[in-house]
Amino acid sequence: MNNTNKKNKFTSKDVSVIICTRNAEADIKKCLESVLKNKPGEILIVDGNSSDNTLNIVKQMNVRFISDNGKGLSYARKIGVERTKLPLIIFCGPDNILQSNFINNFILLKSKWKFDVASACTRVYSPKNFWDKGMDFRWQCNMGKPGKTDVPGTPNLYDRLIFNKVQFSAKDFGGADDTYLCEQLKKYKYKLGIVPITIYEKNNWSMTAIWNRFKFYGTGDSCFYNECKSNWTFYRKILSISHPLRQTFNYSIIAARQFKIYIILWLFFSMIARYYGWVTYSRDSIKNYSNY
C-alpha cells in the first residue's frame, strides 16, 4: 500500500499553491484574493507567456511568479513542483474561487478519506446563463460526488513525496497533463479521489469560452492517445476515442431524467468542440487553445 497520508499534522502553512496561467486577466485577481485569504505557506504563479494584463495584476498583488517559456501546461506544473518546497502541493486553476478556510478543510478531508491525491467537488459559482448552467451540470455529473476517481480535477492536493516517484511530463499534453500523470500514479497504486468539499469556478461563461475550453480538452485527448496508443490494445484505443461520446451520452440520459432537455444541447456542443480540438490538434497550435 502506497498511501502517503500519515497522522495529519499539516495546516495551510505547509501548502505550496501553484497556479498556472496564460492570458487570465479576467479571473486571476479574484482567484488570488481567495487563495491569499486561506494563508498558504507559499504561492507560485507559473505563466505561459501571457500577452494580456495577467502579470501586471500578479505583480500588484505581490505574488511570486516564473515563466514556463510557452512550453505548455504540463511543463508549467512540472517546474511549479520543482520551484516550490513545502510538503503539500495544491494546483489551483486561475478561475477557481476558494471559500474561507478551504485549504485547511481540504487537508483534513484528504487525511480522513485516506487519499494520496485529493480533488474537490466542483461547481460554477451562482450560474447565470445557459453556458453557466451547462458547465455546472457537467461538473455535478463529473466531479459532484465524493469517492474514488481515475483523474482528479483542479484544484487537487498532493503530498510532495509523490513527485519523488512520478512527474508531470516535460512534453506538452494540452488538457491531458493530469491524465498522463494519473497513469503513472495508478502504477504505484496511489489512491485518487474526490472529497466532500466544494470549489467554485467563475460564472458568466460565453459560447466562445466554452468552445475554446473543450477544444483544449480535445487537444489533450489527442496528445494522450498519440503518446500511449503504441502500448494499447485495439479495445483500449476505441475506449479512448469514444470517451467524449460515451460521456455525453451518459450525461444526456441524466439530463433527460431531470427534464433538462436544454442541457443536452450544451453537452453535444461541448462534445463537438472537444472532437474538433482532437482532429485539428498540432504542437504549434495547442498554446492558442486555453488560458490554462
Which class for 9: exposed (0-12), middle (13-18), buried (19 or more C-beta within 10 A)?
A: exposed
Between CA 201 and CA 205 the distance in angstroms is: 10
Residues 170, 228, single domain; the answer is: no
118, part of any domain: yes
Q: Which residues of 47-62 are buried (b: 16+ CB within 10 A; e: fewer)?
A: bbebeeebbebbeeee
2, part of any domain: no
Residues 6+ apart with CB under 8 A from 144: 121, 122, 123
Residues 149, 64, single domain; the answer is: yes
Q: Tens digit of pLDDT for each residue in 25-54?
A: 999 999 999 999 999 999 999 999 999 999
Rg (CA), the chain: 18
For the chain, the domain total comes to 2
Q: Tens digit of pLDDT for each residue in 61-112?
A: 999 999 999 898 989 999 999 999 999 999 999 999 999 999 999 999 999 9
Which class for 1: exposed (0-12), middle (13-18), buried (19 or more C-beta within 10 A)?
A: exposed
Residues 241, 196, single domain; the answer is: no
Cell of 245: 461520446
Residues 80, 187, single domain; the answer is: yes
pLDDT reported for residue 4: 47
Residues 154, 214, single domain; the answer is: no
Residues 123, 220, single domain; the answer is: no
Between CA 192 and CA 181 the distance in angstroms is: 12
Residues 130, 98, single domain; the answer is: yes
Mean pLDDT score, 115-141? 96
pLDDT band at 241 (very low <50, low <70, confident <90, very high): very high
pLDDT band at 291 (very low <50, low <70, confident <90, very high): low
Determine the longest span between alpha carbons in the chain, in angstroms: 52
Residues 29, 165, single domain; the answer is: yes
Mean pLDDT score, 182-205? 92
Look at residue 292 and tell me whether its pLDDT is greater than 90: no
Give the type of residue at 13: K
Domain ranges, residue 248: 209-288
Cell of 101: 478556510
Find out whether 178 and 151 touch, Cβ atoms under 8 Å: yes
Is the backbone peptide bond immediately before 146 cis, with ω within 30 degrees of 0? no
pLDDT band at 7 (very low <50, low <70, confident <90, very high): low
Residues 6+ apart with CB under 8 A from 129: 203, 204, 205
